[in-house]
Structure 1
Amino acid sequence: MALHFLSDAATTAQPGDDVVLEGAEAHHAASVRRLRIDEEVTVGDGRGVWLTGRSTAVSPREVTVRVDARRDEPAPSPRVILVQALAKGDRDELAVQAATELGVDEIVPWQAERSVSRWDGKADKGIARWTTIVREAAKQAHRAWVPEVRSVARTADLAALAGSTRMLLLEPSAESPLSAVDLNADTRDVVFVVGPEGGISPAELTALEEAAAVRVRLGATVLRTSTAGAAALAVVSVALGRW
């Protein structure tokens, strides 16, 4: 499979044009991926543009790709949104990486009541880190649309979001399995909420359910916060006909 890269220059590029990769992207192409001249590559802008072409010049500072073909992928609808509670270590980062590879459309960091990790005073740094992880995972997965990482949310923010979407709370004690939910019943975006290591607190469950969120479970086992989102996304992707 051809190597894939991201560049804002892809947005307006047409067959016959040259797209130039610079900075970290050029260094990655030339020094890490060992791209060679006349090798087929794909280039996207992360917003639906997908270019196919061949490299005509390669250096760690600048890589030139001659565009052979272009297609424009429509934005997914309905969108699938992951609300990922902040977790200790790198568990939340693993969750974000896996969800991106599996096709999530948007990611919302959640400062949950039981989150051990706290972004107080360093939210910008955390969002930047997640955004980098998402970008690299999207390139690895050859995605035409790169998910957006939203600002860190509080429970009140999630309650507001629940009013306009289909929000599913991943809760091991729920009676209904995720697989039983008819996700094609309407066209609203699907949001699934993954709690931290200690789970979603009773107060949070109550607040979100009062805002129209619904509890669902994933099988009979309790998954880690780093794997629950990926498992849910697989179920949702099949239900929505993406897979």
Structure 2
Amino acid sequence: MQQYFVSGKAEHFVTIKDEASIKHMFSVMRLQDNDKAVLVFDDRVKRLARVSDRLTHTFEILEELPDNAELPVDVTIASGFLKGDKLEFLVQKTSELGVHTIWGFPADYSVVKWAGTKLAKKTDKLNKIAQGAAEQSKRNRIPTVKLFEKTTDFLSSLSGFDRIFIAYEEAAKAGENSTLARELALLSKGCKILFIFGPEGGISPSELAVLESYGGLKVGLGPRIMRAETAPLFALSSVAYVFELMP
């Protein structure tokens, strides 16, 4: 069954006003009168709804649903700016895997640089990708996407986390493979976790020193060296295994 995120509060009858949502629901997906869909409002509760009038884009709310597809911990993925469409891929896949927030920042080894209007357009595009992925994977919320223009602004946002993990390639090369598993086992549901990843060239030694001064803990992600857009997926999957799959 199709699922859509709708801004505002749930009423017995809800009229969709967002033009992009209207186009997707009634032109692309061709919803008809009496068709059912799941709507998720600002309270992040899923509700079964029926199209009562497709011409006015109105739904009738039938019942609340108990489904909750969110990870029991809040995971923020911070990645250095990536080349090409890799950041789009990263946002889509981490949204499917349950990420809470996605950050991009200008790392020392980042080849691309975004600023001003270009940065705003990129952020808007990524937020739309996050929404589509969250709808497809039946999430209860849309991940937040934020791109930092300045490294100083990124660093000033590193407070408030229960753990900060720095995915460091040199740690993996040195055979470090237990820190992440050990630290995740010490955490409890409801905690806030930040993973920091470098761009294609990784995290520079000077960046590592700064991030460690903010409480970051460098970790390896197993014996294989992964691409910049793959490593965050591994990290999120590890978190999901610890908090959702382990008996």
Q: Give the TM-score range, shorter chain.
A: 0.7 to 0.9
Partner of residue 58, structure 2:
64
Runs of 4 or more above 6 Å deviation: none
Partner of residue 207, structure 2:
204
After superposition, the C-alpha distances for 1:176-233 in whole angstroms (9 at most, x for unaligned) are: 3465233252454111112101111111111111221111122211211221111110
Does residue 78 of the first structure (1) align with residue 73 of the second (2)?
yes
Q: State the one-letter code of the partner of 1:112.
A: A
Aligned mates of 1:210, 1:128 — CA distance in 2:
32
Normalized against structure 2, the TM-score is what? 0.85
Residue pair 1:106, 1:148 contacting (<8 A) in 2 also: yes
User: For 1:173, what is the secondary structure of its paired residue?
Assistant: helix
Partner of residue 152, structure 1:
148
User: For 2:84, what is the secondary structure of its paired residue?
Assistant: coil
Partner of residue 82, structure 2:
87
Structure 1 residues not aligned, in runs of 5+: none
Q: CA deviation at 1:123?
A: 2.1
Q: State the one-letter code of the partner of 1:67.
A: I
Aligned mates of 2:15, 2:133 — CA distance in 1:
22
Q: Alpha carbons of 1:142 and 1:75: their partners in 2 closer, same or farther (altered >3 Å)?
A: closer
Partner of residue 181, structure 2:
180
Q: Alpha carbons of 1:195 and 1:167: their partners in 2 closer, same or farther (altered >3 Å)?
A: same
Normalized against structure 1, the TM-score is what? 0.87
Q: Alpha carbons of 1:64 and 1:178: their partners in 2 closer, same or farther (altered >3 Å)?
A: farther
2:133 to 116, 119, 137: 137
Q: CA deviation at 1:105?
A: 0.5
2:243 to 237, 240, 243: 240
Residue pair 2:79, 2:104 contacting (<8 A) in 1 also: yes
Residue correspondences, number = 236
Q: Alpha carbons of 1:74 and 1:89: their partners in 2 closer, same or farther (altered >3 Å)?
A: closer
After superposition, the C-alpha distances for 1:42-73 in whole angstroms (9 at most, x for unaligned) are: 011254121111112224xx422111112586
Q: Alpha carbons of 1:48 and 1:80: their partners in 2 closer, same or farther (altered >3 Å)?
A: same
Partner of residue 96, structure 2:
101
Aligned mates of 2:95, 2:70 — CA distance in 1:
15
Residue pair 2:74, 2:192 contacting (<8 A) in 1 also: yes
Percent of aligned positions that are identical: 28
User: For 2:15, what is the secondary structure of its paired residue?
Assistant: strand
Partner of residue 5, structure 1:
4
Residue pair 1:46, 1:144 contacting (<8 A) in 2 also: no
